[in-house]
Structure 1
Amino acid sequence: MSARAGGALLVAGTTSDAGKSVVTAGICRWLARQGVKVAPFKAQNMSLNSFVTADGAEIGRAQAMQAAACGLEPVADMNPILLKPGSDRRSQVVVMGRPLADVDAMEYGAYKDRLRRVAVEALERLRAEYDAVICEGAGSPAEINLRKGDIANMGLARAAGLPVIVVGDIDRGGVFASLYGTVALLDADDQRLISGFVINKFRGAMELLRPGLDMITELAGRPVLGVLPWVEGNWVDVEDSLALRTDPVPAGPAYGAQTLRVAVVRLPRISNFTDLDALACEPGVVVRFVTTPAELDDADLVVLPGTRATVSDLRWLRERGLAEAVAARAERGLPVLGVCGGYQMLARRIRDDVESGAGEVPGLGLLPAEVEFGPEKILGRPVGTAYGARVAAYEIHHGVVAVDGGAEPFLDGCRAGSVWGTTWHGAMENDEFRRAFLSEVAALAGRAYTPAEPGVSFAELRERRLDALGDLVERHLDTGALLRLLEEGPPAGLPPLPPGGTMGA
C-alpha cells in the first residue's frame, strides 16, 4: 500500500467543529500505520490553543496533535499561519511560528497575498519530504463572503490542485442540506475539486440513513466515503472553545467524598484549556468549566487558565463576582491555580502597554508578584522539577512575572499558601507531578481523594485515543478511495451543481 510522493488532500467541513481536526488526525494515524510517510497541514488556523515546537515556533495545538498521530515532532510548516483573537475584531497574526502583527479583520486583507505564498510554500516543502500530506481546512469552504481572499480552504485547494473531502456533522441536524449547499455555493472550478463526503458523529440506525446516502450521492454527483459513528469522550486536543462542554454538572452531593472537584473559570478569551485534559483523565477527578461564583462553592481546586486578553478577562472576572469568590477561597486556605494569563491575574499589579494598552491595573493580589508585558513574545519548551518529579512543558506569553519574595518557587512561577501560579502550559501531562499536585490539593481541600495506583499515563492515553481515531477511519471510511485521491488527485468529470457562482479567486 502506498501513496505517490507528495500526494495530498484537503479535509474541509460544512461548519466549524464538524470534525475536521479529528478526521484529519484519524487519516494521518491510519496512513502512518500502513507505513506511509505522512504529515499534517493547516494553512491558516484561528485558535487560542497553541503549542511550541522544539525550535521555538508557535503553531496550533491541533496540528501538534495531528503530528503525534503521524509519529512526528511538530514543525512550523504544519501550520504556517495562526490567528489568535484578542477581541471580537482584532487578532495576533503568527507567521511561521513568530508574531507578525496585531490586526483587525479589514487590516488583515493587506497581508493576504503574502500569506498565501507563505502557506503554499510551506505545503510544497512538506509534499517534497513526505509521501502524503493531509490538509485540514478552516471553518467552511462555502463562506462566500471570504472566498476571494481565502487561503485555507478552496483557495489553497485551487493553488495546489488538491482533492477535497467535505465532513458534515449529522448530530447538528440538516447534514444533507449542508453537504449539498456547501458544494452548490462554490463556483465551477472549486466544485471540480470536491471529491466526496464524510458524515460524522452518527448515532442511529444505518438502515434509516442509507436512503439519504444514496440520494445525496445522486444529487451531488459525489460519493459518501463513509459514516463515522459518535464516540463519547474520544477528545484529542480540541481546537477552540466551541468544543468545550457546557452541560450542567451536579453539585457536590452527587459525588463521593473521594471525588476531587476541579472548577476551571471559562474566561471569554480562554486559551490553552487543553492544560486541563490530563486532570480530567485521572480516575476520581471531575473537571468542569464555570462562569458564576456559585459554581465555585463545592470546588476543591479552582483554576484560572490561560487567556489571550489578560486585562480584559480580569475585568470580566471582577464584573461577574468571580474575582471576589476566588479571593475568598484563598483566604480560607482552599487551592487556587493560575496558569499563564491566570497566573498574571493573581499578581498584585499588571502593567500592560502591549496586549491591551491599559497601562497599570491592579491584579487580584493573591501572589507576591508584579507583571510587565513586553513587546517580544516568550516561546519555549522549559524543563524543571516540582514535588521531586521532572516536569516538561511549554510557554507562550508576553507578560513577564517578577516575584517580590515571600513565596516558594513553583515551575518558574511561585506559590503562596494555597495559591500556585506558573507560566508553563502542559505541566499536568507529566504523570508523577500531576498525581503529587493533586494529592496536595486534596489535603488542603480536606478531601479523601487519593490518586489511583499505578495511575494514568497521559501519553499512553493520548496514543490509545489516536489509535482509536485510526481504527474509525479503517473501519468506516472507504480507505481505497482515500488512497486513490492521494495517488491520482481529484477525479475527472465531477459534475457541477447549480447555481454555482463566480466567487473563486
Structure 2
Amino acid sequence: MKGILIAGTSSDAGKSVLVAGICRFLARRGLRVAPFKGQNMSLNSFVTREGAEIGRAQAMQAQAARVEPSALMNPVLLKPGGDSRSQVVVLGRPVGELSARGYHGGRQGELLATVTDCLEQLGATHDVVVCEGAGSPAEINLRRTDIVNMAVARAAGLPVLVVGDIDRGGVFAGLFGTTALLSPDDQKLVAGYVVNKFRGDRSLLRPGLDMLAKLTGRPTLGVLPYTHGLGIDEEDGLRVSLRGSSRESAAGEPYGRDVLRVAVAAVPLMSNFTDVDALAAEPGVVVRFVDRPQDVADADLVVLPGTRGTVRALEWLRAQGLADAVRRRAAEGRPVLGVCGGFQMLGERIEDEVESRRGTVDGLGLLPVRVRFAADKTLARPSGSHYGEPVAGYEIHHGVADVRGGEPFLDGCRVGAVWGTHWHGSLESDGFRRRFLAEVAAAAGRDFVPAPGTRFAALREEQLDRLGDLVEEHMDTAALLRLIEDGAPAGLPFVAPGAP
C-alpha cells in the first residue's frame, strides 16, 4: 500500500489542513486518493450515503480528494459527553458509552484490527492513502493503547511527517521532542517535518531548520504560511469558516441596516457548529458565538445549535439567562432557529432516559413538539423542498420528535418567527438559504438582501483548492511523492531524549 501518515506535535497543529491539502494536490495529479483517520474524537460529524457517521474533518478531506466519504475513512469516532464519557462509534454505528479509562483499558486490540482492516481496504482500492494521526504520537502514557498514530504507521509501513504550529511558539522543541520520545522502531518511520502557520521572513527561520536537520537527521519538507479564512470543517473549536464573518464592524461602529446579525448560542457539548458556515459565507451576514442575554437581544437571528447534551444545554441556557431572552424574542416575533438539539430544546418537553437519564424535562415551550430519546440513533440523509427550493441535509440524533402543530418546516415545524428542524447542513442549499434569510431579514426589519451569486459548494471548492495550492507552493512535493512511493528512507538516525 502506498501512503503517508501526518502526525502532529499537538492537537490543532495543522494535521487536518495538511491532509486535506495533500489529498487535493494528489487528486489534481490524477491519483485515486483516500483520507484516513483510524480514531477521531469530535462532536462535528457527518452522515455518509450509506448512513454511517464519521468525523466531518474526514468528510471534508474526502471532498478534497474528490471521492465519496466512507466509514472506512474513520472507523472509530469518539463523541464526548458528560462525566468524562464518550459515545463510541465503530464503522459508522454507535456501540456504547465508555469512560476514558474504560476505553483505553478495554477494546484496543479489537479496534486496532478494525482500523488496520479498513486501511487495507482503502489501500486496495486507491493509489494513495493519506492518514492523519490524533493529538501527538509522543503521548507516552497512551502508547500501549495507540490505534491512530504510530501503530497505524507500523502496521502499514507508512512514512510519517510531523507537523508543528510555529504560531504557538516552541515548534523546534515540539518537533525534536516528539521524535526523541518515540521508540527506535517508530523513529525509523519519521521521515521529516512540516512547519505550519509561519509569519514573516522565511530566511530568519532557515538557521533553525538547518539545526533541526543536524540534530535529527531529518529534513523539513515544508513551511506553510499563516493563512486566514481557510474554511475547513474543524474537529472542534468555535470558528466560523469561509469568509470569517465573525469579525466586528469597522472602528467599532454599529452595523448598518443592510447587515444581518446572527448569534449562535455557545451551548455545552456543541455539535456540528459548521451548520452556520453557510450563513457566514453570505456577504452581509455577521455570525458570532455568544453566551450573554444582551447578545441574543441584539441579534437579528438567534441559532440554537446541535449538542451532545440537550438537557445539559437547556439547563445552561436557563442559568445564563439566555432561555428567557429567547422567549422574549419569540414573543416579539423576532427570528429563532433551532437545529437538532436546539430544535429539541424549543419544544414543550423532553423525555430522556438515554443521554442525560434525567427523565422528563420541560423545554422552552416555543414549538408544539414533544421529544423522546430513543436508544437507537437516527442517521439519515434526507432531502426535499421548502420555499419552493430544493434542500438536503443529514440527521444525527437520538431524540424522536412528535410534532403536534405549527407549519411544516423540513421534518420539524415553525410557529411565527421560530423554526426548528433536525436537519444539519440544510443551509448549504443555496436557494433555500437565500429564501430563509430574506424572511429573517423581513421579520428583523433589515434591508439585507441575500446575494444571488453566492454558491456555498463553489466556495468550499475554492478553499480546498487553496489548501492544495499551499502544499504545491510551500512543500517539497518531489520529496513528498518519493516518500509516498518508496516509504521512509533506510538508515534514519536515532534521536536520544535530551540530546544534545
TM-score bin, normalised by smaller chain? over 0.9
**Paired position in structure 1 for 2:453:** 455
For residue 253 of structure 1, report the CA deviation from its aligned partner. Answer: 4.2
Change over 3 Å in CA distance of 1:88–1:11 after alignment to 2 = farther
CA contact (8 A) 1:17 1:242 kept: no
Q: Does 1:104 align with 2:99?
A: yes
Indicate which of 75, 82, 89 corresponds to 2:70. Answer: 75
Letter in 2 for 1:446: G
- 2:309 is aligned with what amino acid? A
* Aligned residue number for residue 80 of structure 2: 85
Map residues 382-393 of structure 1 onto 2, 5 A cutoff: 382-393=382-393
Superposition map of 1:119-130 within 5 A: 119-130=115-126
Q: Does 1:325 align with 2:334?
A: no
Using the TM superposition, give the Cα deviation of residue 207 of structure 1 relative to its aligned residue in structure 2, in angstroms. Answer: 1.7
For residues 142 and 295 of structure 2, what CA distance do their matches in structure 1 show? 40
Tell me the distance in 2 between the aligned counterparts of 1:153 and 1:243.
26
1:297, distance to aligned residue in structure 2 (A): 2.6
List alignment gaps of at least 5 residues for structure 1: 1-5
Distance 2:83 2:210 in 1: 41
Tell me the residue number matched to 1:315. Answer: 315
Match of 1:496 in 2: 494
User: Aligned-pair distance for 1:248?
Assistant: 7.9
Q: 1:224 aligns with which of 203, 212, 220?
A: 220
**How far apart, in 2, do the equivalents of 1:209 and 1:413 lie?**
55
| Aligned residue among 139, 143, 146 for 1:147 | 143
Q: CA deviation at 1:249?
A: 4.1
How many Å apart are 1:455 and its aligned residue? 2.3
For 1:165, the equivalent position in structure 2 comes to 161
What is the CA deviation profile of residues 420-449 of structure 1, one whole-angstrom value per residue up to 9, with x for unaligned ones?
Answer: 000000001000000000000000011110
Percent identity (aligned):
64
Q: CA deviation at 1:94?
A: 0.3
Match in the other structure for 2:255: 255
1:320 Cα deviation after fit: 1.0
Alignment equivalent of 2:181, drawn from 178, 182, 185? 185
Per-residue Cα deviation, 1:403-422 (whole angstroms, up to 9, x for no partner)? 112x0000100000010000
TM-score (norm 1): 0.95
Alignment counterpart, residue 131 of structure 1, candidates 127, 137, 142:
127
Task: Output the CA distance in 1 between the equivalents of 2:216 and 2:310.
Answer: 47
Within-5 A mapping of 1:318-467: 318-405=318-405, 407-452=406-451, 454-467=452-465
CA spacing shift, 1:164–1:88, aligned 2, 3 Å:
farther
The one-letter code sitting in structure 2 at the alignment partner of 1:260 is: L
1:286 corresponds to which residue? 286
The corresponding residue for 2:6 is 11
SS at match of 2:439: helix
Contact 2:240 2:274 in 1 (8 A): no
CA distance in 1 between partners of 2:211 and 2:79 (Å): 40
Q: What residue in structure 2 maps to residue 208 of structure 1?
A: 204
1:45 aligns with 2:45: no
CA–CA distance in 2 between the matches of 1:499 and 1:227? Answer: 25
Distance between the aligned counterparts of 1:429 and 1:301, measured in 2?
Answer: 17
Report the CA distance between 1:340 and its aligned residue: 0.2
**Counterpart AA for 2:170:** G
* Residue matched to 1:118: 114
CA distance in 2 between partners of 1:244 and 1:174 (Å): 27
What is the SS of the residue equivalent to 1:241? coil
Q: CA deviation at 1:244?
A: 6.3
Match of 2:476 in 1: 478
Q: Deviations over 1:339-396 (max 9, x none)?
A: 0000000001000001111110000111011000001000010001111101011101
After the TM superposition, list the runs of 4 or more consecutive aligned residues in structure 1 that deviate by more than 6 angstroms.
244-248
Q: How many residues align?
A: 494
1:207-247 Cα offsets, whole Å, 9 max, x none, are 21111111111112110001001111112111112656998
Is residue 378–residue 397 contact of structure 1 (8 Å, CA) maintained in 2?
yes
- Separation in 2 of the partners of 1:244 and 1:285? 12
Aligned residue identity for 2:52 = A
Q: Equivalent residue of 2:115, what SS? A: helix
CA RMSD in angstroms comes to 1.6
Taking the aligned partners of 1:12 and 1:254, their CA distance within structure 2 comes to 44
Letter in 1 for 2:293: P
What's 1:3 paired with? Answer: none
TM-score for the superposition, normalised by structure 2: 0.96
- In structure 1, how many angstroms separate the alpha carbons of the residues matched to 2:81 and 2:248? 29
Alpha-carbon distance between aligned partners in 2 of 1:38 and 1:447, rounded to the nearest angstrom? 46
Distance in 2 (CA, whole Å) between partners of 1:398 and 1:500 is 50
In structure 1, how many angstroms separate the alpha carbons of the residues matched to 2:96 and 2:65?
A: 31
